[in-house]
Homo-oligomer: A and B are copies of this chain.
Amino acid sequence: MHHEVRPSGYHNTLGPHDPILWVHSGDRITTDTVDARGFDHLRDQVAIRGNPMTGPFAVQEAEPGDALAVRILEITPSRTYGFTTASTAPHCVEPAFAASLPPNDLVEWRIDLAARQVHLVAPRPASCPELVLPLDPMLGCFGVAPARNQAISTATSGPYGGNMDYRACRAGAAIAFPVSTPGGLFYLGDVHAVQGDGEISGNGVEVSARVTFELHLLKQYELQWPRLIDSVGIATIGNARPLDQATQICTTEMLRWLPQEFGLEPAAAHLWLQQTVRYEVGNIFDPAYTMACRLPREFLPTSGPQPLLNLVRPWL
């Protein structure tokens, strides 16, 4: 079933809020998201600044112990205006360099949907050549309600997802989260028209958007951190600070996933991963940093039950 949902309110925490819609596993949803400061497609502020979320969407029969996978079908910016801020963040440069950062003014970008491009508009310093980037929309912040009935700010992230700002979270990807609350309670927002790795200025090109996705339930499936499947391969996502801990987390989650998905013994999982692994950086700006541990498609084993890959198989 395909639901079209017009959001009437927004949340600045991921938590046990009342669902705006109950769906069945496999249902498709199209809805709208506002930008990171709460502005919609008309540039009207309709929500409180700080990654206001559309949702939550609850899935029938989702319970703790299950996995909830979102398959992202389409992310389309709903306006031409995008913004970032001008300076790299102080904590993303060497401390002694932080005193020389430029003013962190608002920067305007223009999204050209037809050409699938993002243009730097203003201010553009005299020495700065024209800058045109390929449009590459992604979800900056999305996930499910956290464990222990917490309600956690959309500024940060955790095992439940949240503000990960990982460029791979684009149309075509499926991301699975551990369910901690009945219904799972899926939220989304903070779309970026394009983003560099690390989100080092604290923003991608921030836009409102229309998003279409499906929610799929995998009963009794153990995972501790988000897992992603796309045309590049598979990835696990760790959210923590320092980046070292995020890296330990995603590496460990991959070492748990390989036996579970492909039937490798643990020792084989270590062997398999050591020379094939890739790392990708989500954000290094938020309270928790995001690192992804990737196994490229060409190195995926073909063995094992593949419960998560099977769930998304028809799409890939």
Contact = CB atoms under 8 A, between A and B. Distances in A.
A64 interface: no
A240 to B, nearest CB: 7
A268 B90 contact: no
A245 to B, nearest CB: 7
A54 to B, nearest CB: 18
Given A128-B264, A266-B102, A279-B281, A88 B205 contact: no
Contacts of A100: 266
A303 B301 CA distance: 46
A201 B269 CA distance: 12
A186 to B, nearest CB: 19
Interface stretch (A22-30, A67-75, A168-176, A248-256): A248-256
Contacts of A99: 90, 98-99, 101
A20 interface: no
A69 to B, nearest CB: 23
A252 B286 CA distance: 19
B301 A255 contact: no
Given A133-B275, A279-B281, A267 B102 contact: yes
Interface residues of A, number: 85
Contact of A125 (B194, B241, B249, B271): B271
Interface of A: 12-13, 15, 50, 84, 86-102, 107, 118, 120, 124-129, 131, 133, 147-153, 194-198, 200-201, 204-205, 240-245, 247-249, 251-252, 255, 263-268, 270-281, 284, 289, 299, 301-303
Given A86-B271, A247-B281, 11 more contacts: A86-B267, A89-B95, A97-B252, A102-B266, A102-B270, A125-B267, A128-B271, A133-B276, A148-B153, A196-B277, A240-B241
